[in-house]
Amino acid sequence: MNGLRLSVVMANYNHGRILGQAVKEILSQSFSPYEVIIIDDGSTDDSIKVIERIARENPNANIKFLRNNQNQGAVYSFNRGLREASGQYIYFAAADDTVFPGFFENSMRLLAKYPNAGLCSLMMKTICADGTNVRMPLKNPSPVECYLNPVECLRLLRQYDSWMGGNSCIYRRDVVLECGGYLPELGPTCDIFLGMLVALKYGVCFIPKQLAGFRLSPDSYSATFLDLKVYSYTANLMKTTYADLFPVDYANSWERRMMYRDTISAIKQLYKRQINMMEDVLSQKNSVDKFFFLSMKLGMHMQLMFLIFYFLLRLGPDLRIVLQRGLLIKIRYLKARFCPQN
């Protein structure tokens, strides 16, 4: 790993309360980044003071502080940091996510072993706002750390879709520049698409360890952005600009699955908001109220079940793929939970 330089680009918007901890986790990694570029995206809280204090307290950390003139969004900030960075490798860090000890060292060691790989990814923990972990099935394309060539990546994409989450990846910077960075028109899908694109061009490394954390937040970019047209746009890119990488049948299948998934998720959230609004009206509930809300929740669950069943039927030939993927993920989740490796 001697001679390899890692640039960390951290985008921040009004996360002053947790920004210090996020930077501390970056600077305490056993593999020290060459530079840490913190970009504030027009914050209105105390983020500026926090960043300036961090830079003063860590004079040897090569912290670079940039400010956007106005709020431009995380994608703009990451692309700005990409242009400013000077390391051969780059890590895009969100101020509200987290990394665990050994992330950089394990990733850079594997990238040094496979210098042609476009990125190295690993598994993520999902963390609630209160800091508790959420048990979720994990996409795990390999039980051991490895390099996956482009042919293997296509096979695994058909099986799992993307397993490469945004803050679980360290990229080769020249590859990201070649791919055009994050495409803002793809919204929160831009990191998923970039990962798939890099995988099919250069292959990727993978580490079957949870060394990064994704923090669930109701005001995060991915939680507040919902535009199903981005899936059609992404699928069109697969079938036109990148038709040499993505088979047409995969692009069409991916578009349907993503649209159905997000539609179900959006309707589920709508149901929850409706119930919460009605419950807020009644601060004290009698037996009739409790029975009403119980019936309402059961009815909404039944509607969701019918909707899911309907979409599964609509998937047609893709149904087998979805069921197979779900079964594989569940098996590996149960194996990791009840038969943990020493």
The CATH number of whichever domain residue 169 belongs to comes to 3.90.550.10
Domain region containing 165:
6-217
Q: Are residues 169 and 295 located together in one domain of the fold?
A: no
d(CA 51, CA 265): 36
pLDDT at 182: 95
Question: Do residues 137 and 329 touch, judged by C-beta distance below 8 A?
Answer: yes
d(CA 221, CA 11): 12
Q: Are residues 254 and 212 located together in one domain of the fold?
A: no
Domain assignment present for residue 193? The answer is yes
Q: What residue ranges in the chain does DSSP mark as E strands?
A: 6-12, 35-40, 63-67, 89-94, 98-99, 119-127, 133-134, 146-148, 169-172, 204-215
Domain assignment present for residue 231? The answer is no
**Residue-wise pLDDT tens for the chain (342 aa)?**
678 999 999 999 999 999 999 999 999 999 999 999 999 999 999 999 999 999 999 999 999 999 999 999 999 999 999 999 999 999 999 888 899 999 999 999 999 999 999 999 999 887 766 566 655 556 778 889 999 999 999 999 988 788 987 789 999 999 999 999 999 999 888 999 999 999 999 999 999 999 998 876 655 444 444 577 899 999 999 999 999 999 998 998 888 888 887 887 778 878 788 777 777 777 677 888 778 878 888 888 888 888 777 776 776 666 555 555 554 555 455 555 555 554
Q: At what angle do helices 248-281 and 287-315 cross, to 10 degrees?
A: 170
Q: Measured in whole angstroms, how far is the alpha carbon of residue 286 from the centre of its chain? A: 43
Q: Measured in whole angstroms, how far is the alpha carbon of residue 316 from the centre of its chain? A: 28
* CA-CA-CA-CA dihedral for 203, 206, 212, 214, to nearest 10: 60
Domain boundary among 197, 217, 237: 217
Q: Are residues 156 and 302 located together in one domain of the fold?
A: no
Q: Are residues 172 and 259 located together in one domain of the fold?
A: no
Domain assignment present for residue 298? The answer is yes
Domain assignment present for residue 236? The answer is no
Q: Find, among 141, 143, 232, the residue nearest to 193 by Cα.
A: 232
Supply the DSSP symbol for 339: S
Domain assignment present for residue 59? The answer is yes
Domain assignment present for residue 85? The answer is yes
Q: Are residues 264 and 319 located together in one domain of the fold?
A: yes
d(CA 25, CA 166): 17
∠ CA 205-209-211, rounded to 5° = 100
Q: Are residues 196 and 259 located together in one domain of the fold?
A: no
Tokens of 124: 């993520």
pLDDT at 289: 78
User: Cβ–Cβ contacts within 10 Å for residue 303, how many?
Assistant: 13
Q: Are residues 142 and 193 located together in one domain of the fold?
A: yes
What element of type H or E holds 325? helix 318-338
How many domains would you assign to the chain? Answer: 2
Start-to-end Cα distance in the chain: 27
Domain assignment present for residue 144? The answer is yes
- At a CB cut-off of 8 Å and minimum separation 6, what does 209 contact? 102, 106, 122, 123
Domain boundary among 165, 194, 217: 217
d(CA 307, CA 29): 45
Q: Are residues 23 and 91 located together in one domain of the fold?
A: yes
- At a CB cut-off of 8 Å and minimum separation 6, what does 310 contact? none
Question: Do residues 204 and 147 touch, judged by C-beta distance below 8 A?
Answer: yes
Q: Are residues 115 and 172 located together in one domain of the fold?
A: yes
Q: Are residues 210 and 269 located together in one domain of the fold?
A: no
pLDDT at 303: 81
- Cα four-point dihedral sign 20, 26, 32, 34: negative
Give me the residue label for tokens 């004290």: 284
Q: Find, among 26, 34, 32, the residue nearest to 5 by Cα.
A: 34
pTM of this structure: 0.82
d(CA 50, CA 18): 10
Supply the DSSP symbol for 285: -
Domain boundary among 195, 217, 239: 217
Domain assignment present for residue 170? The answer is yes
Q: Are residues 165 and 281 located together in one domain of the fold?
A: no
Q: Are residues 201 and 76 located together in one domain of the fold?
A: yes
